[in-house]
Amino acid sequence: MNASHVRFGLIGYGAWGHFHAGAIAATASAELVAIAAKSDKTCDAARTTYPQAEVYSDFRQMLGRKDLDAIVIALPSHLHHEVASAVLSTGRHLLLEKPMALSIEQCDDLLQLAKDNQCLLAIGHEMRFSSLWSRVKEMVDDGFVGNVQYILVELSRRPYRLGSEGWRYDINRVGDWILEEPIHFFDLARWYLSTSGDPKQVYAMANSRQPDHPELQDNFSAIVTFDGGAYAVITQTLSAFEHHQVVKLTGTKGALWASWSGPMDRTLHPSFSLRAFDGENVETIPITKTTGEVFELEDQVAMMVRAIRERQSLEATGNDGKWSVAMCLAARQSVDIGRPVAIKEVMANQ
């Protein structure tokens, strides 16, 4: 064991957790020393793939170790608060998959635990690390489009995977499908519009193609307004095919158009592009590093390593995670009542 490495434990070794394991193992100055998995099958798979790591069937037993610096949680959404609370209470730094939690109260609880125990709390908004989506952010910050006025984030994809024991299709465990994937797009919109102040309100609509499960809404669209008149349109359908995401962004001086496509969300060979308009000419911006949620996990782990060892800032903090949850919950309320919902009211009243 290398004492200079940041020693990671992973809680969750399912369809997404095993990608996290690979990212930790592949990251310089990171070491995967422990994995907690639920079933005999996933425990055996973890032992086979990562023989250097101790594998546990009870995450609390894993947390009893003295040699863990940081924990990654990749579990179904309804378990985030319980397990994250246990991790932070032991004083370990934490990278927590989105959504941070299922309520504002739970988010506030985790933020307080992190503060009380002097822990770093990062949220898994891995799109911020994308060579494509982050290049959009860089160009916005450099003033390429002038003052941003409008953002469209659109996703057209095949239906969700069921998840372990069907958790993603159980509203009590998933919380809401807006928290499952559109939460990334709310985060991108707030990130791109960081100079426009806080998001103010959300007006949203949704419907389901499943008559017996109207709570699982396959089609979703929202308009989010920001200070100064800027707004974002976030829209998703799960009733389509493959996985295609687009960001269109316009400002007072120019426009950007970014796109990503693959047969599935976790494809290793996607197609992607970024085009820029400066008010007169259109050019293609080269993106040389392959982008996709699988690739960004390594950058996310590297960020945690730097934050722990060098006191560098986190890319997506617990506060960012709370804002993302609040925007999703406001959208959920708007769908239910059919009118706009103020986001800060959701943050105050949950």
Q: Round the average pLDDT of the chain to a whole number and report it.
A: 96
Tens of pLDDT, residue by residue over 210-265, are 999 999 999 999 999 998 899 999 999 999 999 999 999 999 999 999 999 999 99
- pLDDT band for 350, please (50, 70, 90 cuts): low
Mean pLDDT, to the nearest integer, of 305-329?
96
Instruction: Residue 191: name the closest of 182, 179, 199, 181 by CA.
Output: 199
Identify the bridge partners of residue 245 per DSSP, sorted by sequence position: 155, 260
Mean pLDDT, to the nearest integer, of 263-272?
95
E-only strand ranges, 39-147: 54-56, 70-73, 93-97, 121-124
Residue for token digits 């499960």? 213
Tens of pLDDT, residue by residue over 112-151, are 999 999 999 999 999 999 999 999 999 999 999 999 999 9
| pLDDT at 2 exceeding the cut of 90 | no
Instruction: Residue 75: name the closest of 65, 67, 85, 66 by CA.
Output: 85
Q: Can you spell out the DSSP letters for 168-232?
A: GG-HHHH--TTTTTHHHHHHHHHHHTGGG-SEEEEEEEEE-S-TT-TTS-SEEEEEEEEGGG-EE
* Gap between the terminal Cα atoms of the chain: 44
CA 147 to chain centroid: 26
Q: Which domains does the chain have, with CATH numbers?
A: 6-126+303-314 (3.40.50.720), 128-296+325-349 (3.30.360.10)
In this structure, what token pair is assigned to residue 67? 């040699």
* Amino acid at position 174, single letter: V
Which residues, in sequence order, are CB contacts of 191 under 8 Å at separation 6+?
128, 137
- Residue 186 confidence (pLDDT): 98
R_g (Cα) of the chain, nearest Å: 20
CA–CA distance, 47 with 55 (Å, rounded to integer)? 6
Residues 231, 190 contacting (CB under 8 angstroms): no
Instruction: Residue 130: name the closest of 267, 306, 300 by CA.
Output: 300
CA distances from 331 to 81, 130, 193, 214 (A): 21, 25, 18, 16
DSSP β-ladder status, 255-262 and 243-251: antiparallel
Q: How many Cβ atoms are within 10 Å of 51's Cβ, its own excluded?
A: 8
CA–CA distance, 110 with 250 (Å, rounded to integer)? 36
Tens of pLDDT, residue by residue over 170-225, are 999 999 999 999 999 999 999 999 999 999 999 999 999 999 999 999 999 999 99
- Residue 150 confidence (pLDDT): 98
Tens of pLDDT, residue by residue over 332-344, are 999 999 999 999 9
CA–CA distance, 311 with 170 (Å, rounded to integer)? 39
Tens of pLDDT, residue by residue over 53-85, are 999 999 999 999 999 999 999 999 999 999 999
| pLDDT at 299 exceeding the cut of 60 | yes
In this structure, what token pair is assigned to residue 50? 């990562």
Identify the bridge partners of residue 350 per DSSP, sorted by sequence position: none
In this structure, what token pair is assigned to residue 285? 């911006």
CA–CA distance, 247 with 257 (Å, rounded to integer)? 6
- pLDDT band for 3, please (50, 70, 90 cuts): low
